[in-house]
Amino acid sequence: MADRTLLDPFPIGWYWVDFSKNLGKNQLRGKKWMGNEVVYWRDRDGRVCMAKATCPHLGAKLSPNMGGKLHDGCLVCPYHGYTYDATGSCVRTRHGPPNEHVQLSTFSTVETGGVLIAFWHPEGQKPDWTPPSMDGPEWSEFTFYKDVIAAHPQEACENGVDLAHLPHVHGYREVTQIGEPQIEGPMLQTRFKLVRRVGLPRFIGLNLNVDAIVTLWGLGMSTIEPSMDYAGVYIRQLAMMSPIDEKRTSFVMGLQLKKIGKPNALVPGLGLLPASLLRHWMRSLFFKIYRHDISQDYVIWENKDFLKYPRLDSADSSIMRFRRFSQQFYPNPQF
């Protein structure tokens, strides 16, 4: 992994934990997240609890591979039988009555768009903002894919404002930024236009004229919303960077789209396909493109050094604006 010691590996913010479909009722999961061993489960009422995988009674590990288990939707410690509900409160001990002085160290969680995300703060502070909802009847379900890469969330998020790399790395044409990045608290938004060619370079191909909005919600979650008004195509891509430890990060990609409004504007005769089949096929196609484009960045993210004083030119003003925005997610900014 490249040298990026100037960056705290675990910035404050909301980070992916799991896909909702992987967490059934009365099912205990454990993993490493933000450098911590955590457990999470859904009780019989569907409430989710995520906590550090250490019993506050005498320090036993609560992970399922260490003997932690669920009973009636509550987490039971394998050491002395201390039992915790979905709020993290102790509701039963080996003697019967709960110990009111014992409380799991829990994390705030949100479920949206088929993913479970949780808030991280090194001092355990609660969030004063929440990410946007990814649900809505006008949108399809997400298609998801997950990789594990050796990259820092800030390096990936910086791509959202680094428009100069789009032609060089991804082959986009006519990339034009629309206005300056807009910042509002933990949100940064960039707008631009581009032309993206789909198909075989020298044979059959299609030029897509795309308007795009990239919105960062902290450093752990971003949405990319490409649209083609002339064809009634509206896409929402989700990118989530969730550190596992100091070196590894889960990178989760998701894509959903609305019903295709004018498919014949893309390819004559495309509208003859049944609407449900067309939507499914187009979602699969655009997701394949999205995965290909993102994977081109991996080798750069994993090997670049973080430069405290980069030698930028006049076209890179948005990068410094992004870096100033990023400082709010570190307890002790050093850059």
Over residues 234-286, the pLDDT tens digits come to 999 999 999 999 999 999 999 999 999 999 998 888 889 898 899 999 999 99
Residue 289 φ/ψ, nearest 5 degrees = -65, -45
Summarize the confidence of residues 80-106 as an average pLDDT.
93
Q: Based on the structure, what is the number of domains in the chain?
A: 2
- State the pLDDT confidence band at 117, using cuts at 50, 70 and 90: very high
Q: Does 73 share its domain with 162?
A: no
Q: What is the CATH number of the domain that holds 22?
A: 2.102.10.10
Size of the chain in residues: 335
Amino acid of residue 33: W
Q: Which two three-digit tokens encode residue 162?
A: 């680094």
- To the nearest 10°, the Cα dihedral for 94, 95, 98, 100? -100
pLDDT at 201 over 60: no
Cα gap 15→119, rounded to integer Å: 6
Instruction: Calculate the average pLDDT of the chain.
Output: 93
pTM: 0.93
Q: Does 150 share its domain with 90?
A: no
Q: Does 192 share its domain with 56?
A: no
By residue range, what is the domain housing residue 58? 13-120
In a domain, 137, yes or no: no
- State the pLDDT confidence band at 207, using cuts at 50, 70 and 90: confident
Cα gap 186→307, rounded to integer Å: 23
pLDDT at 3 over 60: no
Q: Does 74 share its domain with 21?
A: yes
Q: Which two three-digit tokens encode residue 192?
A: 């631009």
Query: CB of 40 within 8 A of CB of 116?
Result: yes
Q: Does 72 share its domain with 147?
A: no
Q: Does 158 share its domain with 291?
A: yes
In a domain, 230, yes or no: yes
More confident residue, 330 or 334: 330
Cα gap 145→147, rounded to integer Å: 7
- State the pLDDT confidence band at 335, using cuts at 50, 70 and 90: low
Cα gap 4→306, rounded to integer Å: 5
Residue 96: C-alpha distances to residues 73, 99, 118, 323 (Å):
17, 9, 32, 53
- State the pLDDT confidence band at 317, using cuts at 50, 70 and 90: confident
Q: Does 182 share its domain with 231?
A: yes
In a domain, 335, yes or no: no
Q: Does 115 share its domain with 186?
A: no
In a domain, 107, yes or no: yes
Establish how many alpha carbons lie within 13 A of residue 72's alpha carbon, considering only the half-sphere containing its beta carbon. 5
Q: Provide the pLDDT for residue 1.
A: 47
Amino acid of residue 232: G
Please report, rounded to a whole number, the percentage of residues in the chain having pLDDT higher than 90. Answer: 81
Q: Which two three-digit tokens encode residue 255?
A: 């894509």
